[in-house]
Structure 1
Amino acid sequence: MDQNERHLHASSFGAAAAAYAEHRPDYAHAAVRWVLEAAPGLRVLDLGAGTGKLTGVLVGLGAEVVAVEPDPAMLAELRCSQPTVRALSGSAEAIPLPDASVDAVLAGNAMHWFDMAVAGPEIDRVLAPGGILAGLWNVMDDRVAWVADLARVSGPAAVGPRDTPAGWRAATAAAHLPRTGGTARFGSPEQRLFPHGHRRTADSLVATLGTRAGMLVMPEKERKAALDGIRAFLAGRPETAEGEFALPMLTAVLRVGRL
C-alpha cells in the first residue's frame, strides 16, 4: 500500500464513526491487563483512540486515561461514550502531551496507520522511563472452520492480512519500532494472543465488516455486492443463520518496553 492509499484508508473512518462505535468490538481485558502489568504506573495514553473502544476497557481497569484521536467525528463519538475521559485532538505524529507524562501508550487497531518515522520519537518523548508501548488488534480466529470460510468469502477488503492470527504475526514481526537519533530506545517486542469473542447476528456482523477501511473506500456498487455475498454466506451456515452467536476472535498484542 503506497502512502496516498494508506492515507485514504486511514482517513476513511470518520464518515462511519457512528457505525464504528456501534459495531466494532472492544478488547479482551486479559490482553489489556497484560500490557499494564509491565508499566511503571497507570497513566495511559490511548493513541489513535477512535470512538473509545479501548478507552472504555482501560477506564474499567482503573487506568488514568488520556485519549488522543485525529478525526473529529470519531473524537465526538469518543467524548459521548466516555464523558469522564480527557479526550484531545491530535495524532501519533503530533501528540499534545508533555514529555515523560505517561507510563504506557496503547493503540487499538491503529498502530499500522502511524508514520513511525515521525510517531516513534513522539511516543518516546511522552513515555516515562521504563514505560510501555503496545499495539492491540482484534483478529478473527480462523482456526475455527466457519471463520476461515468467512474470511475467504469476505475477501481482503473486509478481512485483511492483519485480521487473522498468522497474518497478524507476520505483519508485526518486523514492526518499525521507535528510534531516536538512530538509536533504539525500546527493547525486544513480545507478541501474545488472548481469546476474545464478539456477540453478533448475521446483520450486525455484516455491519461490522462494513466498517473495515477496505470496505469504506470501495465504490458503493462493489461494496454492496461484497456485503451481500457475506450476508448470503452467513445465512447458509448453521452457526450463523439464526439469532445471535459468538464470533470467535483473539486480541493480538505487540508489547515493547522503553529502555
Structure 2
Amino acid sequence: MADAMNEAAELFDGTAPYYAAYRQGYDERMFAHVAECLGLDGTGWALDLGTGTGAVGLVGSVIAVDPQPSMLAEARVLAAARGVTNVEWRLGEAAQLSAMGLPSLRLAAMGAAFHWMDRAAVARDLEALIDGGGAIVLASGGAPGDVSRRRGWM
C-alpha cells in the first residue's frame, strides 16, 4: 500500500503550483445543482477524494484526501486565502478508505482523479460510508454538454 501511495505522489510531484494556477475550476452552478438535488444544508461531512489543490464545500466539514503532499500544502494555502476553515487535510489514497476511520458522509466528491483509482473498489468503500440521503458525485471538467444526463445520475 505504501508503494502505491508513493507512486501516486511521485506522479504529480512538482505539479501543485500549476494545478492551482491553470487547472480550470468547476462551475458554481454545478455545486448549486448538487446542493439542491441532495438537500444539502451546510451540515454533515463530505469527502473530497483526490482533492488536488482544492476542496468541495456545501457541507459543515470536509475531509480532503490526496496522496501528493505538495497538493495538500497548496490546497491549505488556497483555502486559507479564501477563509475556508472547515477542512481536515489528510495524506492518503483511495485504497485506504476503509482504514481512515471516516464518519458517515453526506457527500463524496471526486474529479478527474477518479480515473486513477480502482473505481469498483472505491465505489464499494464509499457506499458503506455514505448516509441514506447522500451521494457520490463525479465532477467533470469537460465542456458543457460533454456528458449527458443518465438515469440514476444527477
What range describes the TM-score normalised by the shorter chain of this pair?
0.7 to 0.9
Alignment correspondent of 1:47: 49
Superposed CA offset, 1:14-37 (max 9, x none): 321111111112111111121122
Residue type of the alignment partner of 2:76: R
Q: Secondary structure at the match of 2:140?
A: strand
TM-score (norm 2): 0.74
Q: 1:77 aligns with which of 62, 74, 78?
A: 74
Q: Secondary structure at the match of 2:102?
A: coil
Does the C-alpha gap of structure 1 residues 11 and 119 become closer, same or farther in structure 2, counting only changes over 3 Å? farther
> Does 1:129 find its partner at 2:92?
no
> Does 1:20 find its partner at 2:19?
yes
Residue type of the alignment partner of 1:132: A
Superposed CA offset, 1:62-103 (max 9, x none): 65322111111211111221242211112222222435x210
CA distance in 2, matches of 1:44, 1:98: 10
Does the C-alpha gap of structure 1 residues 97 and 28 become closer, same or farther in structure 2, counting only changes over 3 Å? farther
Structure of higher CA gyration radius = 1
Give unmatched runs, 5+ long, in structure 1.
1-7, 142-163, 174-187, 191-254
Superposed CA offset, 1:131-159 (max 9, x none): 11111111146xxxxxxxxxxxxxxxxxx
CA distance in 2, matches of 1:134, 1:62: 14
Alignment correspondent of 2:92: 90
Structure 1 vs Structure 2: percent identity of aligned residues? 29
* Contact in 2 for aligned 1:105/1:123 (Cα 8 Å): yes
Superposed CA offset, 1:165-202 (max 9, x none): 1xx55xx97xxxxxxxxxxxxxx532xxxxxxxxxxxx
CA distance in 2, matches of 1:135, 1:11: 24
Residue type of the alignment partner of 1:47: L
Residue type of the alignment partner of 2:14: A
Alignment correspondent of 2:121: 118
* Contact in 1 for aligned 2:107/2:136 (Cα 8 Å): yes
Higher strand share: 1
Q: Secondary structure at the match of 1:138?
A: coil
> Does 1:189 find its partner at 2:134?
no
TM-score (norm 1): 0.46
Residue type of the alignment partner of 2:16: A
* Contact in 2 for aligned 1:40/1:131 (Cα 8 Å): no
* Contact in 1 for aligned 2:8/2:67 (Cα 8 Å): no
* Contact in 2 for aligned 1:15/1:73 (Cα 8 Å): yes
Q: Secondary structure at the match of 1:106?
A: strand
CA distance in 2, matches of 1:45, 1:63: 11
Residue type of the alignment partner of 2:121: V
CA distance in 2, matches of 1:129, 1:62: 15
CA distance in 2, matches of 1:125, 1:40: 20
Count how many residue pairs are aligned between Structure 1 and Structure 2. 138
Residue type of the alignment partner of 1:114: M
Give unmatched runs, 5+ long, in structure 2.
1-6
* Contact in 1 for aligned 2:107/2:135 (Cα 8 Å): yes
